[in-house]
């Protein structure tokens, strides 16, 4: 099974268009310690030809151009993307669907009912796509029931409800329900190995910890280093916990959790432009290195 990181940044990308903090300045100045990043998205395949896109970021066009297997190769209008999974209804995980509106048939989209409701009401992208080729919605259960997708027959997908936060346009904002946010166990039936993917994670519940513990690779929320990072950076008065993200450095945070896991390879994704780990020579990055925790980057390949 081949997983490709199409985008490793949080919403806004890196550098963010209107941010002049030290990290974004470093990218614009060409400092080699800072790498530009698209907004988070991955794609997975078992045969190298047919790919399941997981989250459609606003940067999807550039991401397709960066990865030839997703580009047209078989006919005049074409793509290697066969289906799309959406883990939540956040802007940075769904807006790319508008860029993909020229598809020659309805997109097969897999998401929970609560995400579907957001995408047909508060942020009605699915309705807009109905004026083009439309979509075929496949409801994803929140009961952790494994399912398969055509053209990815050797992969088993299991949606795992997470405690995070619904977007501002959702009726579930600050009152989330199962299905507003899900992670994914993605298992290769041939090798028996699996990746657990959770780009937005606010609380590590017991059932989530079991998936983390039993994964071969963990690709997990790396949004912020500290809970008050946004306010200390002068860009927002919100805590990370209020936005549905567990910070890395606090007691019981992402680092503590990952350090307790013996089996998996540990990788962070969905990294906000304020996070000091984006500086590859920072003390915070050295802390991650000392714990064997990697930071994903655009174009990273994971083979399991």
Give the per-residue SS3 of 22-83: HHHHHHHCCCCCCCCECECEEEEECCCCCEEEECCCCCHHHHHHCCHHHCCCCCCCCCCEEE
Backbone angles phi, psi at 240, to 5 degrees: -60, -40
Query: What pLDDT, on a 0 to 100 scale, did the predictor assign at position 242?
Result: 81
Query: What pLDDT, on a 0 to 100 scale, did the predictor assign at position 274?
Result: 97
What are the extents of the domains in the chain? Answer: 2-303
Query: What pLDDT, on a 0 to 100 scale, did the predictor assign at position 273?
Result: 97
Q: For residue 173, with 0-12 CB atoms within 10 Å meaning exposed, 13-18 middle and 19 or more buried, which class applies?
A: middle
Query: What pLDDT, on a 0 to 100 scale, did the predictor assign at position 232?
Result: 81
Query: What pLDDT, on a 0 to 100 scale, did the predictor assign at position 175?
Result: 87
Query: What pLDDT, on a 0 to 100 scale, did the predictor assign at position 96?
Result: 98
**H or E stretch including 288?**
helix 283-290
DSSP track, 87-147: S---HHHHTHHHHTTT-SS-EEEEE-HHHHHHTTTTS-HHHHHTTTT-EEEEEPPSS---B
If you classify domain 2-303 with CATH, what class do you get? alpha beta
Instruction: Tell me the C-alpha distance between 218 and 291, whole Å.
Output: 14
Q: For residue 105, with 0-12 CB atoms within 10 Å meaning exposed, 13-18 middle and 19 or more buried, which class applies?
A: exposed
How does pLDDT run along the chain (304 residues), one tens digit per residue?
A: 999 999 999 999 999 999 999 999 999 999 999 999 999 999 999 999 999 999 999 999 999 999 999 999 888 899 999 999 999 999 999 999 999 999 999 999 999 999 999 999 999 999 999 999 999 999 999 999 999 999 999 999 999 999 888 999 999 988 889 999 999 999 999 999 999 999 999 999 999 999 999 999 999 999 999 988 877 887 777 877 888 899 999 999 999 999 999 999 999 999 999 999 999 999 999 999 999 999 999 999 999 9
User: Measuring CA to CA, which residue among 303, 304, 300 is closest to residue 41?
Assistant: 300
Instruction: Tell me the C-alpha distance between 11 and 49, whole Å.
Output: 29
Could you tell me the two tokens for 278? 């984006």
User: 183 near 196, Cβ under 8 Å?
Assistant: yes
Query: What pLDDT, on a 0 to 100 scale, did the predictor assign at position 231?
Result: 78
């Amino acid at each position: 099974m081949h997983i490709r990181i199409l985008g490793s940044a949080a919403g806004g990308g890196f550098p963010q268009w209107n941010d002049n903090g030290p990290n974004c300045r470093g990218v614009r100045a060409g400092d080699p310690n800072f790498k530009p990043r698209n907004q988070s998205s991955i794609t997975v395949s078992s045969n190298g030809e047919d790919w399941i896109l997981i989250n459609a970021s606003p940067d999807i066009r550039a991401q397709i151009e960066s990865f030839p297997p997703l580009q047209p190769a078989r006919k005049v209008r074409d793509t290697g993307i066969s289906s799309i999974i959406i883990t939540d209804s956040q802007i940075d995980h769904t807006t790319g669907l508008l860029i993909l509106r020229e598809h020659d048939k309805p997109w097969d989209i897999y998401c929970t009912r609560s995400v579907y409701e957001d995408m047909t009401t508060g942020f009605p992208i699915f309705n807009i796509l109905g004026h083009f080729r439309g979509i075929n919605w496949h409801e994803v259960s929140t009961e952790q029931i494994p399912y398969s997708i055509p053209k990815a027959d050797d992969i088993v997908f299991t949606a795992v409800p997470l405690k995070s936060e619904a977007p501002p346009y959702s009726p579930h904002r600050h009152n989330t329900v199962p299905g507003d946010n899900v992670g994914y166990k993605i298992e290769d039936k041939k090798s028996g190995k699996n990746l657990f993917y959770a780009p937005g994670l606010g609380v590590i519940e017991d059932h989530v910890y079991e998936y983390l513990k039993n994964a071969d690779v963990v690709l997990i929320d790396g949004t912020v280093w500290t809970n008050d990072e946004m306010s200390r950076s002068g860009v927002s008065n919100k805590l990370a916990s209020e936005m549905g993200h567990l910070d890395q450095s606090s007691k019981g945070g992402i680092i503590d959790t990952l350090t307790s896991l013996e089996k998996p390879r540990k990788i962070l994704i969905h990294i906000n432009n304020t996070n000091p780990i984006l500086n590859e020579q920072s003390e915070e990055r050295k802390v991650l290195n000392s714990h064997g925790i990697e930071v994903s980057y655009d174009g990273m390949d994971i083979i399991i």
